[in-house]
């Protein structure tokens, strides 16, 4: 089983963190590749960044198909490009928001999501709706720490733990979901300090994709997620068109 984990932003150190946590949960028969795309934003902190992370992500999926990848993880909590990725990939594709919410829904009746920036809250609710999690998701709140600050800022942990504590009480939740690919280091300390299950999306998406591949399941390609038809692409994006047809 070969799983490709794609960090949709272009910051290598974040890819390294993501890889560490993805690698920590895979089984002995699974090979894992974590990549930084060849184009796009250094961090995803707006709808603009998210939209512009998709071409690089799709380029990685096109490469992955040529390399025989069995399943993909999109390692950004906005799940950018998920539908487009499913058209390209033969195997299953999971976003980390999707996987984290689904995992949390197995552990209790309600969960709270803690995101980095407050402007991500609206989009996270949008995803909760799309995945049928509006009811299970009892609250989404932000600790207002930049994506790239998470690693360097000394008081990031106490602020996030405090936000989680408040969220548990306010939302009466059973579970915490971490709303950013760069937060996996925080799972253990939050769990220890608050005594509740804490879900990291990178781990969840990686094991779920591994699970789907193990079951022999692929993306359903008979209708909406069939391979894209050929199309001429022009300008900067010319290479995404017929000169480099989707597999």
Q: Which of residues 142-181 bind a copy of itself (CB under 8 A)?
A: 168, 172-175
- What the block records as the tokens of 243 is 């000169």
Q: With binding defined as CB under 8 A, does residue 23 bind a copy of itself?
A: no
d(CA 174, CA 197): 8
Q: With binding defined as CB under 8 A, does residue 18 bind a copy of itself?
A: no
d(CA 81, CA 157): 30
* Smallest separation, CB 123 to a copy of itself (Å): 7
Cβ-contact 59, 97 below 8 angstroms? no
What order do you get walking across the sheet with 137-142 strand by strand? Answer: 137-142, 111-115, 175-179, 198-200
Q: With binding defined as CB under 8 A, does residue 77 bind a copy of itself?
A: no
Exactly one of 42, 149, 244, 247 binds a copy of itself (CB under 8 A); which one?
Answer: 42
Strand (E) or helix (H) holding 19 = helix 12-23
* Smallest separation, CB 68 to a copy of itself (Å): 19
Exactly one of 7, 60, 73, 131 binds a copy of itself (CB under 8 A); which one?
Answer: 131
Q: With binding defined as CB under 8 A, does residue 20 bind a copy of itself?
A: no
Q: With binding defined as CB under 8 A, does residue 186 bind a copy of itself?
A: no
Exactly one of 2, 23, 33, 52 binds a copy of itself (CB under 8 A); which one?
Answer: 52
Strand (E) or helix (H) holding 31 = strand 31-35
Nearer CB in complex with a copy of itself: 52/157? 52
Exactly one of 7, 29, 152, 157 binds a copy of itself (CB under 8 A); which one?
Answer: 29
Cβ-contact 132, 104 below 8 angstroms? no
Cβ-contact 99, 22 below 8 angstroms? no
- Site residues for a copy of itself, 90-119, by CB under 8 A, read 92-94, 98, 102-103, 105-110, 118-119
């Amino acid at each position: 089983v070969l799983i490709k984990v794609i960090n949709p932003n272009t910051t290598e150190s974040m890819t390294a963190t993501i890889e560490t946590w993805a690698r920590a949960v895979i089984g002995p028969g699974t090979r894992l590749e974590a990549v930084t795309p060849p184009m796009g934003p250094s961090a995803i902190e707006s709808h603009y960044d998210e939209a512009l992370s998709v071409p690089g992500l799709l380029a990685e999926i096109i490469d992955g198909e040529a390399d025989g990848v069995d399943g993909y993880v999109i390692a950004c909590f906005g799940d950018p490009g998920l539908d487009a990725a499913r058209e390209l990939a033969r195997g299953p594709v999971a976003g980390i928001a999707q996987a984290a919410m689904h995992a949390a829904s197995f552990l209790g009746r309600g969960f709270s999501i803690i995101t980095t920036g407050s402007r991500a809250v609206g989009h996270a609710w949008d995803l909760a709706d799309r995945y049928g999690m509006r009811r299970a998701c009892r609250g989404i709140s932000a600790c207002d720490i930049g994506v790239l600050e998470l690693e360097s800022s000394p008081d990031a942990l106490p602020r996030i733990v405090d936000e989680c504590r408040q969220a548990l009480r306010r939302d009466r939740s059973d579970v915490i979901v971490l709303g950013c690919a760069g937060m996996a280091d925080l799972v253990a300390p939050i769990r220890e300090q608050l005594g509740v299950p804490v879900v990291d999306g990178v781990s969840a998406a990686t094991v779920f994709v591994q699970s789907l591949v193990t079951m022999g399941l692929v993306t359903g390609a008979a209708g909406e997620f069939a391979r894209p038809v050929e199309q001429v692409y022009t300008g900067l994006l010319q290479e995404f068109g017929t000169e480099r047809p989707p597999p």
